[in-house]
Structure 1
């Protein structure tokens, strides 16, 4: 019997999820307290909705969004400039053998959800729903 291919994208383990949440909480704490001394970051309200970790827990991808979605790229650049300080603070908060390297990415889930809502509210879709 031939083997079935396993999907290449495995769901994250419980440990990845737990460590990701710990990192997310520490990043949110750093941002809300103003511990990161950067004028660009201080001028914006930054939210970290999700942190994903690689299976070996050595790479963390933090998704960030600014209030109103403005200047997100400038905030990401500022976070990257302060990456060394942030990594040190995260290392103290999360007790791991190796402190994960943190990448900052723009969170696009809210934009995607808005796009899907707009599609569902379109006249074409409403017409199909009304037929049923």
Structure 2
């Protein structure tokens, strides 16, 4: 009879990533950043484009990784995402050479919108209404 085991991730449904997911995601982020900064991917849409890989999130089974990327200055984001997606098999192969995992994760790419959210938050905090409320304290 099979024994039932608690979730091995230790968070039991909280939705938070496990320590292993976080570690693997950071290793992938560094390797992906390295591949993109060296220009190892030969694509006209990526040539002479600096791409920031701000975060990578891995699935619990570590077989899928989503990279949040943004070209420098946020210029041509859609073209860069299309180029990364178009070349994802080559990128996966290049990243796999640099990391030591049992399985090479499937890569997907999304635009990092956190910078836009930070700008919007700064804009809200500097509005006269909010400044007035903050100054009352």
Do Structure 1 and Structure 2 share a fold, with TM-score over 0.5?
A: yes
Contact 1:64 1:105 in 2 (8 A): yes
Q: Which residue of 1 aligns with 2:136?
A: 131
Task: Give the Cα separation in 1 of the matches to 2:69 and 2:87.
Answer: 15
- Superposed CA deviations along residues 85-125 of structure 1, whole A, max 9, x for unmatched, are 11112222222222111000000111100100110110110
Task: Give the Cα separation in 2 of the matches to 1:100 and 1:9.
Answer: 23
Higher helix share: 1
- List runs of 5+ in structure 2 lacking aligned partners: 1-10
Contact 2:35 2:95 in 1 (8 A): no
Q: Which residue of 2 aligns with 1:57?
A: 62
Contact 1:26 1:93 in 2 (8 A): yes
Structural RMSD (CA): 1.6
SS in 2 for 1:30: helix
Contact 1:19 1:94 in 2 (8 A): no
Picking from 71, 81, 89, the partner of 1:84 is 89
Farther-moved stretch of structure 1 (77-86 vs 88-97) = 88-97
TM-score in terms of structure 1 length: 0.90
Give the number of equivalent residue pairs: 127
Task: Give the Cα separation in 1 of the matches to 2:29 and 2:89.
Answer: 16
Task: Give the Cα separation in 1 of the matches to 2:135 and 2:51.
Answer: 41
Structure 1 residues 91 and 112, CA gap change in structure 2 (3 angstroms): same
2:18 paired with 1:13: yes
SS in 2 for 1:99: coil
TM-score in terms of structure 2 length: 0.86
| Runs of 4+ that moved beyond 3 A | 6-9
Structure 1 residues 28 and 121, CA gap change in structure 2 (3 angstroms): same
Q: Which residue of 1 aligns with 2:116?
A: 111
Task: Give the Cα separation in 2 of the matches to 1:122 and 1:7.
Answer: 41
